[in-house]
Amino acid sequence: MAGNLIPIEHNGPTIALKFFEDDLLLVGHGPILKIYNYKTSEVITTKRIFKKNKIHGITFDRDTLAFYGARSLSILSLNQILEEEELTKYEKMVNDWIIAGEFSYNGLEVYLLTAHNVILGVDSYSQTLQWEKSVWGEKSILYSGSIKVTSKYDVYINAGTVMGGVIIWDLYKEEIIHNLLGHEGSIFNVKMSENDKYIASCSDDRSIKLWDFKTGELLSTAWGHTARIWNLKFYNGDSAVVSVSEDLSSRTWNITEDEKLVANLTFELHSGRHVWGLDVKDGEMLAATGGNDGRVRLVDINPRKIENETQSFEIEDIVANSQYSVKKNEVVKGFWKLNAGLIVVTSEGGIFRYRNNEWTLVKVNLGLKNYSLTNGHTHKNIITFTNDKGITILFKFSDEGDLIKESLIASEVSKVINSISSIYNDELYLLIESPNKKEKLILYHINEDLEVVSTKFFGKGQTFVTTCFEIVGGLVFIGFRLSSIGIYDFETSEEVQLIKKVSISDTVTSIKTLQESQDKILLSVTNRDGYYLYIEYEKSTNLHTYIHTNDLRKGFLEGSIHANQELVVYGFKSSYFYIYNESRDFEIAYENCGGAHRLWKLFYENGNFDFIYTRSGALYIRSIECPNTPYFLGEGSHGREIREISIRQKEYKGANKLYVTGAEDTTIKLSSINFDTGKIRNYWTIRKHTSGLQKIKFLNDNLIVSSSAREELFVWKICENFNYPLISLFGTLNPSSDNPDLRIMDFDHIFVYNDHELKGFVLVTVYSDSSIKVSFFDIESQSFSPLISGFYKTCCLFDVKFIVHDHKVYILSGASDGHLSLWDITDEVQFKVSKNRLNYTETLELQNLPQPLNMIAVHQNGIKDFDIFKTDSGILVASGGDDNGLGLTQFNLNDETITSEIVSFVPNAASSTITSLSGLSDSRLLVGSVDQIIRLWTFKDNELRLVDAHYTTVADTGSLDSTEYKTSDFALVGGIGLAVWEIK
């Protein structure tokens, strides 16, 4: 068995992390070690440490490093790691799971704590076992533990048992020091502080307990995590603890002077479920966390973080340096951040400037009383205040912060309810709205000298309230409540179009230009309900198309920023304000501001954000600076099991192909892969399904179908006109009832043409209640109509395929009873077959599924996946089952009566369920199983023969897809993680 299967790259849960020397971070990605320069995100080296086992821990003494995971151990020098290619030959084994490893005080030995509470002493030079130590009668099973080396003779073992106890024992005395009782359930982590003062432990009960090491006294119990806590670490001179959890959050806790553990910061750094890995670079207060999503996040955990980044001012603080007496109930009424400083207006007309950490009174203008509508142009140092009578006062400042010009605009309206602004060609545009339906919207173009360059009037629909606007390409796009957008000609002020119901309901919160060309405009639109989309607008025809649609699912969505080709969104979730990088799927920052009902504004420049808001009369400035370390290392993938992968045949921009994955986390990811480097790049995480994905497939270069439980099936469309791919919802198969609870297990399609025009596709869907449905999707109307409906038996159908053979259309399905069944639906499908494609006809009626023509028991249990290969006489079906078997069944479709026969069957083709298979050229078959072995088979001359088998690091291996690229085949293997393979 020569190596035909070559692993190229692995993305999976990240458990082990260790900061090393000045700027290195060592990360275990499964069995593979990556050394990053965490300041530049450069990967210094990638080396496989273990043959199969995952790296669960890393420890070092000077430049000697020890890696452990499961029963494996490897002790290597930094030089070896950097210079030698092949390191797995150094892998050693012990007889038990290694819970923790640590070097002895002088570095000559490595202590290994096993899952049965035994310490093995290994000589770090000869790498031989020296001794075993334990405490009598306490060799019970552990989920967690740690080793604390204090001096040559003082070594403490902190063992977390499964029955709620933490046993602290002295290694050299082999004596128990404390048995700390109080937790419920298994202990999942226990650590001792650097100075031996405290012990922190966490368990199944979701609490963190702080204990006094000397006395064993319980000092404090802290709550906050909503699921199990997997890792803990003391930092900042043992005055704080950081924890990571199954609940996806990472939290910090301060130890107060009276030794209580108090919650401080909360971060949501990963996606899916579980954060495992944790290390802290103490001097820099930088934490690295590793998630199930395969990413490493770097985050500032300075306990003073919020204080350092936030300034808050009561009205008294603002006026403190000025000759200004605060009136009763006087509050901040408006503000804008200018280059000249932050300008604030109070409800009594006091205008103040905050610059270089100092407040100064700019002027008092009693006329400005209740001028609460504030707008501005940051770079041009212009701020405007509008009152409800239609008067706008404009101020211009110098870069040094001096007021250099004032001006006034009186709008002829009976009343003003809204004044909003937008920048176009670096000039300020101000839009004034009256609540009176008859009065038009007024748009002012204001130049640098505060002069009105032009005034335009726009009519508006009866029930609309404006929320935002954008000027681009000679058009004005105005966002309204009730999710609609008005498009007006800038020159003539004519309404060109009104787009209604961009989303189901709620307000359009922002419209932003992403790109403009000769004939097209690309806009991003956000809706308060979390829905956002990209609209492509064709100037000549005024046609608009939604080319990207998604749902943020994060509370209220208030706007977006397009920075470095990435979409950053922000809004409110309960009492928090969030800033989220939606393109790369990570949280940038959050602020507990008390919720959406307040004055607020987000300013962005060069990666830095200023979130300015008022709360109970005070003004808050939260400054989020672009960190000097990257937000994350490693691209990663879904944080839950990947259930299905589909690679597009067509190449995407050179060396890459696009692929989609559907996961247990209910999301779909659109990504690309570079087969030369193995590098993946995620573009979008699509949130539409409400339950874990069952299937997802590319139908052609731009159509995708996905299915899940609750009878959800969606059609998606890819758009490649821009710098990165976009994906939008294109159709929905309606469920059969209002409260659907069936799973759509699988589907297949055949395209339908009208002459040469693609009209749509016929789709067969199979369900968990044994039903089979066929419907037609019309591309023009973007809707499905039913064609055939029926049942198989009473068992669950797992998979289905269409077969077109000799002017006939068949359905082949695999079920949980191990049978393959074949139906002839040529008549019922109604479209006629010619040249292996279906021809469109107009009138369609719902037909009953006929009786199956053929059924054959191939497997003892469920058929998890099958693939078909056409032959002259019919088809060959390769199938994999829950029974570990791999079958090859031949269906003869040419004869009068259709016959089937198992031509080859390998009962123990895997040691566990075969979950996925994919046909390759040359009668080859790639097969994945939960035994974590990828096998390559051939079936030349109708006999299944194993060609190669290779271990995969992806656990719960549930899906694979393959594709040809250059002269090789490549495969993506998904489960908990995603691996890239080359098949020679």
List 15, 16, 478, 960, residue binding other proteins (CB under 8 A) = 15
Reading phi first (left if > 0) and then psi (alpha if -120 to 50, else beta), residue 96 is in: beta
Asked if 173 interacts with other proteins (CB under 8 A), we say no
Binding status of residue 97 toward other proteins by CB under 8 A? yes
Among residues 401, 400, 409, 334, which one has the least CA distance to residue 369?
A: 334
**Using the rule CB under 8 A, is 276 a contact of other proteins?**
yes
Cβ-based nearer residue to other proteins, 862 or 874? 862
Grouping H, G, I as helix, E, B as strand and the rest as coil, residue 947 is strand
Shortest gap between Cβ of 892 and other proteins (angstroms)?
A: 25
Which parts of 17-46 interact with other proteins (CB under 8 A)? none
Q: Mapping DSSP to helix (H, G, I), strand (E, B) and coil, where does residue 256 land?
A: coil
**Residue 789 makes contact with other proteins by CB under 8 A:** no
- CB-nearer residue toward other proteins: 509 or 854: 854
Q: Note whether 109 and 66 are within 8 A (CB).
A: no
β-pair type (744-754, 837-839): parallel
Q: Which one of 92-100, 407-415, 498-506, 524-532 is the stretch in contact with other proteins (CB under 8 A)?
A: 92-100
Residue 300: CB minimum distance to other proteins, A: 27
* Nearest distance from C-beta of residue 267 to other proteins, angstroms: 20
Strand order in the sheet with 955-965: 5-11, 968-983, 955-965
Question: Which residues in the 339-358 window bind other proteins by CB under 8 A?
Answer: none
How many Å apart are CA 844 and CA 847, to the nearest integer?
Answer: 9
Contact 762, 753 (CB under 8 A): no
Q: Quick one: which segment of 518-526, 578-586, 601-609, 741-749 binds other proteins (CB under 8 A)?
A: 741-749
* Least distance to other proteins, CB of residue 417, Å: 49
Backbone dihedral angles phi then psi of residue 767, each to the nearest 5 degrees: -125, 165
Q: Using CB under 8 A, which of the segments 111-119, 145-153, 549-557, 886-894 binds other proteins?
A: 111-119
Q: Is position 641 an interface residue for other proteins (rule: CB under 8 A)?
A: yes
Assess 228 for contact with other proteins (CB under 8 A). yes
Residue with Cβ nearer other proteins (353 or 864): 864
- Give, as ranges, the residues between 371 and 430 that touch other proteins (CB under 8 A): none
Contact 984, 965 (CB under 8 A): no
Report the alpha-carbon angle 522-527-531, nearest 5.
Answer: 85
* 243 near other proteins, rule: CB under 8 A: no
Between residues 190 and 523, which has the closer beta carbon with respect to other proteins?
A: 190
- Among 116, 305, 355, 687, the residue binding other proteins under the rule CB under 8 A is 116
Which residues have a Cβ under 8 Å from the Cβ of 738 and sit 6 or more positions away?
none
Cβ proximity to other proteins: between 162 and 498 the closer is 162
Which residues face 848 on adjacent strands?
Answer: 789
| Residue 779 or 976 with smaller CB distance to other proteins | 976
CA distance 323 to 310: 26
Contact residues for 730 (Cβ-Cβ < 8 A; gap 6+): 703, 714, 715, 716, 717, 782
With binding defined as CB under 8 A, does residue 1 bind other proteins?
no
**From 466-474, 519-527, 867-875, 951-959, span contacting other proteins (CB under 8 A):** 951-959
Q: Is 636 in the site for other proteins (CB under 8 A)?
A: no
521: alpha, beta or left? (left if phi > 0; alpha if psi -120 to 50): beta
Q: Is 78 in the site for other proteins (CB under 8 A)?
A: no
Between 151 and 908, CB nearer to other proteins: 908
- Residue 289's identity, in one-letter code, is T
Q: Per rule CB under 8 A, is residue 230 in the interface with other proteins?
A: yes
Kindly state whether residue 907 participates in binding other proteins, applying the rule CB under 8 A.
Answer: yes
Residues contacting residue 438 through CB under 8 Å, at least 6 positions apart: none
Q: Kindly tell me which of 689 and 805 has the beta carbon lying closer to other proteins.
A: 689
Which of 186, 207, 483, 507 is the binder for other proteins (CB under 8 A)?
186
Query: Does residue 816 interact with other proteins by CB under 8 A?
Result: yes
Q: How far is the CB of 126 from other proteins (least distance, A)?
A: 9
- Report the phi/psi class of residue 501: left, alpha or beta, with left for phi > 0 and alpha for psi in -120 to 50: left
In total, the chain counts a number of residues equal to 984
Contact between 54 and other proteins per CB under 8 A: yes
Q: By CB under 8 A, what part of segment 852-881 binds other proteins? A: 860-862
Instruction: Name the pairing type of β-strands 847-848 and 783-791.
Output: parallel
Phi/psi at 438 (5° precision): -80, -20
| Cα–Cα distance for residue pair 312/546, rounded to 1 Å | 42
Compute how many residues bind other proteins; rule: CB under 8 A: 85
Query: Measured between alpha carbons, how far is 313 from 619 in angstroms, rounded to an integer?
Result: 5
Select from 70-78, 191-199, 318-326, 511-519 the region that touches other proteins (CB under 8 A).
70-78
Contact characters 283-302, other proteins, x per CB under 8 A:
---------x----------
Q: What residue has token string 């009209």?
A: 759
Which residues from 795-814 bind other proteins, rule CB under 8 A? 795-796, 798
Pick 153 or 951: Cβ nearer other proteins = 951
**Which range, of 191-199, 468-476, 757-765, 948-956, touches other proteins by CB under 8 A?**
948-956
Min separation Cβ 497 and other proteins, Å: 46
Min separation Cβ 717 and other proteins, Å: 30
CB 69 within 8 A of CB 28: yes
Contact between 841 and other proteins per CB under 8 A: no
SS3 368: helix
Q: Is 91 in the site for other proteins (CB under 8 A)?
A: yes
Return the residues of window 649-678 that contact other proteins according to CB under 8 A: none
524-583 binders of other proteins (CB under 8 A) = none
Residue list 680-719, contact with other proteins (CB under 8 A): 709
Query: Does 895 sit near other proteins (CB under 8 A)?
Result: no
Task: Write the DSSP string, 7-40.
Answer: EEEEE--EEEEEEETTTEEEEEETTEEEEEETTT
As a whole number of angstroms, the distance between CA 934 and CA 919 comes to: 13
Distance CA 165, CA 949 (A): 43
- Whether the CA torsion 399, 401, 407, 410 is positive or negative: it is positive
| In the complex, minimum distance from the CB of residue 217 to other proteins, in angstroms, rounded to a whole number | 27
CB of 115 to other proteins, least distance (A): 7
Contact, 479 vs 467, CB < 8 A? yes
Site for other proteins in 757-776 (CB under 8 A): 768-770
For other proteins, the binding residues in 923-942 under the rule CB under 8 A are 930-933
Q: Which of 4, 127, 322, 515 binds other proteins (CB under 8 A)?
A: 127
Task: Say if CB 564 and CB 557 are below 8 A apart.
Answer: no
Place of tokens 């609940």: 247
Q: Does 453 bind other proteins (CB under 8 A)?
A: no
Is 747:699 a contact under the CB 8 Å cutoff?
Answer: no
Q: Nearer Cβ to other proteins, position 276 or 590?
A: 276
Residue 493 interacts with other proteins (CB under 8 A): yes or no = no
Under the binding rule (CB under 8 A), the answer on residue 250 touching other proteins is no
CA pair distance 393, 901, nearest whole angstrom: 87
Q: What strands, in cross-sheet order, belong to the sheet with 757-767?
A: 832-834, 837-839, 744-754, 757-767, 771-778, 783-791, 847-848
**Burial readout 491-503 (b: 16 or more C-beta within 10 A, e: otherwise):** eeeebeeebeebb
Would you give the distance in Å from CA 972 to the centre of its chain?
19
By CB under 8 A, residue 274 contacts other proteins? yes
Which listed range, 131-139, 558-566, 803-811, 848-856, lies at the site for other proteins (CB under 8 A)? 131-139
User: Tokens 């200004």, residue?
Assistant: 324
Instruction: Tell which positions 953-972 bind other proteins, by CB under 8 A.
Output: 955-956
Query: What are the tokens at 901?
Result: 């026969």
Residue 533 beta carbon to other proteins: minimum distance, rounded to whole angstroms: 32
